[in-house]
Structure 1
Amino acid sequence: MKDLGGWETRIDEGEIVRWRESGAWRARTIAEDARDWAVREPDRICARTADDALTYGEALVRAERLAAGLWGLGLRPGDVLGFQLPNWLEAVAVDLACALIGVVVVPIVPIYRGAEVAQALADCRAKAMIVPERFRNFDYAAMLRGLAPSLPDLKHRIVARGEARAGEIALDDLMREGGAAVPWPAQRAEAVKMILYTSGTTGRAKGVLHTHETMPRSLERCLDHWGLRPGDVSLMPSPVTHITGFSWGLEMPFYHGVGTVLMERWQGDEAVALIDRHGAAVTVGATPFLAELVEAAERAGSRLPSLKVFACGGAAVPPGLVRRANACFANGRACRVYGSTEAPMVTLGWVGDGTADLAAESDGKIVDYDTRVVDEAGAAVAPGREGEFQVRGPALFAGYADARETEAAFTADGWFRMGDIGFVSPEGAVVVTGRKKDLIIRGGENISAKEIEDALHRHPGVREVAIVAMPHPRLVETVCAFVVPAQSGAPDLAELARHLERAGLARQKIPEHLEIVEALPRTASGKIKKDTLRGMIADVVSKRAVPA
């Protein structure tokens, strides 16, 4: 059905009725939740950073003022606003303000640069964009100024924590008292609330549509399964512009009353101090976060007694790391989880008595999703046999911004193709063994191999190139380039890096290793055998790691 903003979603009236009658959907928005918390507990802290804090009452005041400012700029229900903010408290106000007036938010991770930002803003037809003036020595305001001429829909450039130049607006000015009077519009909870761009196999990021109903459902299941309750605190090191950081850092405090401690920059020793200082009960993060938290806790002599759960996912999680973490934590359980931006938390980690091995060796227990495993022909495989995971459920996304991609991603009978290969054990444990999607998951961030390949094919020294995942001790995976050079001569790694930087790709997408080869291995049909290439570079890395 068509959304208010013109987005074609897979949700129909029958599904709305079914999920609401079952209690899976709430028929309310985060704006209503924020108003309720501000009335009930205005002085309770909902979000904090290392040196600042925000109460429920303050959050609503800031959000209403910003909403009035955005309304005065002409933003209306169904319009789109992008933001590329770090883990700052301003992001809380941005999310709530947009919900108050029905504006769709598009979080964009700060590591993205011109090419990725331009594609996302153009695709969603964003009318406004909020960026920091500078962050980590990068000038975001200048980047946006450079992109503006190519984005005809972008009417308003808003700058946080910095000076607004001609044609720009300071975020602080929009949040001052005395903005336009807002006739607070009625909201539909099944409307699209957020579009999150995630890398796919096509090289072009897909816009994932989530509603006011899908996001809180996933979080509610976490609360129940892990024994969390209102008043607990989460530590959130993941970017608030990533599905994990957005849902736990910006939304969980208002949906379910679990406050958040936002980390602007991950640092293991600081994370230990924050968990102990604020009694954090839960955190969700990628493999490097868990490894470095355990190392820091061991250095500090802390067993993190307040921590109930560390849910680890987004990339391969070594069983030994989970066991080491669980030997360190006094009362908590580290566990593996499985999901995606489209299907958050398909599994939740094993936390009960007698499940330590399952927590370490599997990717979690299916909770709240119907899941099936199918072969290449789409037929269900026998229990314990490998196949592709397909899912459906109330937390599943509402479709892609491009309706054609939605159609391709779902089966005729309504199941979402996860693109991952694995099996379900007799105990009901999910074990992911591989990916059909040609993605590299670097520290929990999806990187499209094809996007990098497309850019490198424009280099005069590259005749052919294949990008694959390379094992990395900290990030789990990083980027490796196999290049067949042109006759003019083989480029080196530094030259390829400069070429990709000029193309506007984020630094995280630049290959960290280069292999020059005479030819790429291919199947009989001519497809590049990336499994062979992954095995080759894994062998190189393993030999390099063996001490002489």
Structure 2
Amino acid sequence: MEFDAVLLPARRATMIAQGLWHDRTINQDLDACLAACPDKLALTAYRVDAGDVRRFTYRELAQMADRVAVGLSRLGVQKNDVVACQLPNWWQFTVTYLACSRIGAVINPLMHIFRERELNFMLQHGEAKVIIAPKTFRGFDFEQMITAIQPGLPDLKHIVAVDGQGANSFEALLSGPAWENEPDAASILSAHRPGPDDITQLIYTSGTTGEPKGVMHSANTVMANIIPYAQRLQLDAEDVVLMASPMAHQTGFMYGLMMPIMLKASAVLQDIWEPKKAVEVINTEKASFTMASTPFLTDLTRAVAEGKTPVPTLKTFLCAGAPIPGPLVEQARAALGTKIVSAWGMSENGAVTLIELNDPDERAFTTDGLPLPGVELKVVEIDASGPALPAGHAGKLYLRSCSNFGGYLKRQHLNGTNAEGWFDTGDLARIDAQGYVRITGRSKDVIIRGGENIPVVEIESLLYKHPAVAMAAIVAYPDERLGERACAVVVTKPGQSFDMPTMVDYLKAQKVATQYIPERLDLVDAMPATPSGKIQKFKLREQLKAMLSPR
């Protein structure tokens, strides 16, 4: 595969001079762990449905990474070849990435919820040579699905099934044979190790606005984010990182897979989110940090409160992906005794803003944090890209970051980064006088009603505070006179009712201007969402359009 990561070369000299790129790969970090703490527990992987727990010391993890690396080379995987990995949070996911890094291959993490439509696009676009997937997971046969679409994927040479029964199983091809002891293993493991500017990860955007784009990252770009992220959160080798968010998403990959190794810390994986099980895992493994989206925090808070089982080791819960309702922060603090940290980021950059640990709790639900070192932000007029607006003014958010990606694979025209390095995030935001950012929406989510911009996120936040509302999103629908009107789409809590008069009375009581109150309410059972929990508003708009179209 030829990677067109055109955004990397022009930044290299500056990033190195400023100490923001560290010129190392995960290989050096794993080797450092092997040298410094070989017998320390590196990885604990819980398979909830199977009732299985697998543990690796750093010595065992490095050995298995070498074994699988040589096994991949036996399948014809060479430097810059793409290895797709459609696994839940299983130990094989971690080992696959480490193995790819040993031989210069590029991992392509794929969410386990993807089916034929998504896989056909991503595997073809990314030219994956090998895909590693479960034989079955949660009752679905992945091997059968991928085998059915393989004829239309000329680059895909091998389907490797974890827990498979035949010759194509992960166990038979990769983790079973002692490949690391073969005569040519040493040369295979040393000949094609990647450099820090080589592409190490190809990850597709979640698709909140349509067709996914292949985000290319080097070791330098991802580590430029992970290192200051860990420093702000005061994480070190003594921490135990719980990761129940999918490692096929940047949250799980960067902070559940890579970061613990970089810190010489311990990682704990949970493959199926069950809140009561998470409480048990936290207490058994003495987890001190986790990162996940708002629903995870809600579930964990409820499980601890209802079960009256404290989680005293859990120091920090970083919550990202959507605004955190204020009442949830208060409830979580009371139930968990844990610092709740808000953050904002993208697949293209990682989490680039987060609050400080010593910030007041209210910062977690009124802001999305401060930029990390090496990150600059500016807000400009929505219809321009000129000078930054004064503090407190909302507009389009631009970002210039040491962790900015290398570009979109085969889509240079969509890279959204100008000659000065400013990346158009596609988000709307405001930055206060202290430098804290608040994401106020997506540029595509702007609703202009009769020439007046509706503050979408602020109204959504108010709706979240209503006791009957579990989830809320506001989207536009066309209006002949005003151009657009606003529709509130709401999922109610079990046993609760919510209707248009209730919504209007509630928002008026919150002193919302009449023109900002949605003029339509749709109640739904569930929101269309990305694997990371972000609501797909483009799908809501499509559904609304279909509903309103004349029959």
Tell me the TM-score normalised to structure 2 length.
Answer: 0.79
1:70 offset after TM fit, Å? 0.9
Q: Which residue in 2 is equivalent to 1:177?
A: 178
Aligned partner of 2:158 among 156, 159, 167: 156
Q: Deviations over 1:68-108 (max 9, x none)?
A: 11111211111111010111111111010000000000000
**Are 1:535 and 2:488 an aligned pair?**
yes
Distance of 1:123 and 1:522 partners within structure 2: 38
Query: Is the Cα contact below 8 Å between 2:379 and 2:397 reproduced in 1?
Result: yes
Letter in 2 for 1:174: L
Query: Is the Cα contact below 8 Å between 1:287 and 1:476 reproduced in 2?
Result: no
1:259 offset after TM fit, Å? 1.6
Query: Is the Cα contact below 8 Å between 1:131 and 1:160 reproduced in 2?
Result: yes
Q: Which residue in 2 is equivalent to 1:464?
A: none
Q: Deviations over 1:317-367 (max 9, x none)?
A: 21211122122333x3112111111121121123215x2221232111222
Q: Which residue in 2 is equivalent to 1:359?
A: 364
Query: Is the Cα contact below 8 Å between 2:216 and 2:406 reproduced in 1?
Result: yes
3-state SS of paired residue (2:323)? coil
**Are 1:104 and 2:112 an aligned pair?**
no
Distance of 2:210 and 2:285 partners within structure 1: 41
Q: Which residue in 2 is equivalent to 1:243?
A: 250
Distance of 1:211 and 1:117 partners within structure 2: 23
**Are 1:389 and 2:397 an aligned pair?**
yes
Distance of 1:128 and 1:113 partners within structure 2: 17
Range with greater deviation from structure 2 (116-125 or 310-319) = 310-319
Q: Percent identity?
A: 30
Q: Which residue in 1 is equivalent to 2:330?
A: 323
Q: Which residue in 2 is equivalent to 1:270?
A: 277
Q: Which residue in 2 is equivalent to 1:445?
A: none
Q: Structure 2, unaligned stretches of length 5 or more? A: 47-52, 447-459, 504-551
1:177 offset after TM fit, Å? 0.8
3-state SS of paired residue (1:34)? helix
Q: Structure 1, unaligned stretches of length 5 or more? A: 440-467, 483-519
**Cα gap change, 1:96/1:538 in structure 2, threshold over 3 Å: closer, same or farther?**
closer
Range with greater deviation from structure 2 (80-89 or 172-181) = 172-181
Aligned partner of 2:202 among 188, 195, 204: 195
**Are 1:430 and 2:437 an aligned pair?**
yes
Cα root mean square deviation, aligned: 2.9
Q: Which residue in 1 is equivalent to 2:478?
A: 521
Q: Which residue in 1 is equivalent to 2:518?
A: none
**Cα gap change, 1:399/1:360 in structure 2, threshold over 3 Å: closer, same or farther?**
same
Query: Is the Cα contact below 8 Å between 1:284 and 1:310 reproduced in 2?
Result: yes
3-state SS of paired residue (2:128)? coil
1:523 offset after TM fit, Å? 6.5
Q: Which residue in 2 is equivalent to 1:48?
A: 44
Distance of 1:370 and 1:256 partners within structure 2: 25
**Cα gap change, 1:151/1:402 in structure 2, threshold over 3 Å: closer, same or farther?**
same
1:202 offset after TM fit, Å? 5.6
**Are 1:231 and 2:227 an aligned pair?**
no
1:524 offset after TM fit, Å? 7.8
Distance of 1:37 and 1:428 partners within structure 2: 37
1:261 offset after TM fit, Å? 0.9
Aligned partner of 1:10 among 6, 13, 26: 6
1:67 offset after TM fit, Å? 0.7
Distance of 2:225 and 2:401 partners within structure 1: 10
Letter in 2 for 1:145: T
1:403 offset after TM fit, Å? 3.2
Q: Deviations over 1:198-220 (max 9, x none)?
A: 13466211111111112122221
Distance of 2:37 and 2:425 partners within structure 1: 40
1:303 offset after TM fit, Å? 4.0
Q: Deviations over 1:98-149 (max 9, x none)?
A: 0000000000000110110111110011111111100001110011101100
Q: Which residue in 1 is equivalent to 2:118?
A: 116
Residue-pair matches, total: 467
Aligned partner of 2:93 among 91, 94, 104: 91
**Are 1:421 and 2:428 an aligned pair?**
yes
Q: Which residue in 2 is equivalent to 1:515?
A: none
Q: Deviations over 1:495-548 (max 9, x none)?
A: xxxxxxxxxxxxxxxxxxxxxxxxx624789x8x4xx3533668998418969x
**Cα gap change, 1:291/1:187 in structure 2, threshold over 3 Å: closer, same or farther?**
same
Q: Deviations over 1:374-396 (max 9, x none)?
A: 11211321210000111111112
**Cα gap change, 1:541/1:7 in structure 2, threshold over 3 Å: closer, same or farther?**
farther
Query: Is the Cα contact below 8 Å between 1:350 and 1:356 reproduced in 2?
Result: no
**Cα gap change, 1:524/1:78 in structure 2, threshold over 3 Å: closer, same or farther?**
farther
1:35 offset after TM fit, Å? 1.8
3-state SS of paired residue (1:377)? coil
Distance of 1:295 and 1:82 partners within structure 2: 36
Aligned partner of 1:32 among 28, 31, 42: 28
Distance of 1:237 and 1:339 partners within structure 2: 18
Q: Deviations over 1:161-190 (max 9, x none)?
A: 12236xx45444322114553432242111
Letter in 2 for 1:79: D
Q: Which residue in 2 is equivalent to 1:489?
A: none
Q: Deviations over 1:395-440 (max 9, x none)?
A: 1211111233444x2234321111111201122221111112469x
**Cα gap change, 1:257/1:479 in structure 2, threshold over 3 Å: closer, same or farther?**
farther
Q: Deviations over 1:232-275 (max 9, x none)?
A: 11111101111111112221122222321101111111212222
**Are 1:348 and 2:354 an aligned pair?**
yes
1:476 offset after TM fit, Å? 3.6
**Cα gap change, 1:30/1:74 in structure 2, threshold over 3 Å: closer, same or farther?**
same
**Cα gap change, 1:59/1:403 in structure 2, threshold over 3 Å: closer, same or farther?**
same
Q: Which residue in 2 is equivalent to 1:507?
A: none
Letter in 2 for 1:45: L
**Cα gap change, 1:479/1:34 in structure 2, threshold over 3 Å: closer, same or farther?**
farther
Distance of 1:72 and 1:285 partners within structure 2: 37
**Cα gap change, 1:538/1:477 in structure 2, threshold over 3 Å: closer, same or farther?**
closer
Letter in 2 for 1:276: N
Query: Is the Cα contact below 8 Å between 2:86 and 2:133 reproduced in 1?
Result: yes
Query: Is the Cα contact below 8 Å between 1:164 and 1:170 reproduced in 2?
Result: no
Distance of 1:24 and 1:541 partners within structure 2: 51
Q: Which residue in 2 is equivalent to 1:219?
A: 226
3-state SS of paired residue (2:298)? helix
**Are 1:298 and 2:305 an aligned pair?**
yes
3-state SS of paired residue (2:235)? coil
Letter in 1 for 2:315: K
Distance of 2:432 and 2:36 partners within structure 1: 45
Distance of 1:82 and 1:213 partners within structure 2: 21
